[in-house]
Structure 1
């Protein structure tokens, strides 16, 4: 699976087949994948938990989570359980949750992120188990219902590359010609299709002579969207691999304030 084509076609599925569970052999493969991803992130700040009986999770969250109070019903769910609330843990839990999405797609399954952040913590403990620490997001997965081919799928408009990427400072817009010269044009073209909460695309990138800096935009009084940052980091690295570059992000810290708009530095990528 080429990650650029995947991003172009990526859609969250909210309607899964109720009468078709994922068979035990594939669930066993998923369990192996979960352990491999946890091992890959060697710092151990989070743990994946597979809930095979999705009916219990759905019944417990109906009216409390999902989209406009409508819970996404699927045969199975995967939760990411945070062992601490450090920014690094939150960022990389999202990074690996989205990497998990690509692994499930390769198994011909579809997925949908579901926020349970606003669900009472005692309710979350009841549903996910007393041994859990902090579960804010779960991943619904299964086989999608077949849609009507005559109905056009909804499409979310995306910001252009020039609105997301800057030349050395936030005040200076970058040109596509310059990105082409640096071998970054394709990466940023496809990266803008990466998912973000409510498709807000809060990422901002500053390209310098030898690095790319990732920042996220957020409003005064709100928390920086660290989940969106982790997702963008994963896809940026994956897209760069298509260009033959296998570097990794290094986390940063710092803030920029412009009126009521704030930007948090997230990470830098060595070119």
Structure 2
């Protein structure tokens, strides 16, 4: 004998599932608005605190320059990054994304200690330290990045190394979780990462202005990030990153720099 479910319960379950669905946004190409990005240079001060009230240490300056251009016949957004520590450049990146969907088209990076890598999503080629990656690679440090890249070129993803440019592309709503298909070339395959709008707050700006912000939170075991995103301009103004116990990293957008 089949058990009948009361009609009231059916409506209650439907309402509950609907509420859950409305609170979660699975980000795809239709969910991004690249018009929020503006051309120009954006600079951040990055530093650590080995304790909430400890002195600031390990300062870096990140310059992220956005331009609109063309890449192999495609309208593109080009993001160039230069990371400087106290006395030298430690990291440079050129990332090219589709102007409409922000899907990665190209990514080339150099690290002071690790060397260079290049990932061309249109040509479907990749290399590390100028040596092409292929199916014949057997060592983990070459095979795994190549396998991850093969997955990435066959599905929609967003470049995790451009998180400060990705977050401005989304339309935010309180208590909503955004499942973002992040992939960083050279590392693990694309994976949906959960970022949740957990509240709002104000930052004090120049001339004592108050800047209304969304608080976008991302957590993993022993790790928590809170991004302060301007409601007006959509730019990331601040990151407060808790790493393990009593260790913090901050990113602060600079209003003026030379």
Q: Do the structures match in fold with TM over 0.5?
A: no
Structure having the higher Rg: 2
* TM-score after normalising by structure 2: 0.30
Greater per-residue strand proportion = 2
Greater per-residue helix proportion = 1
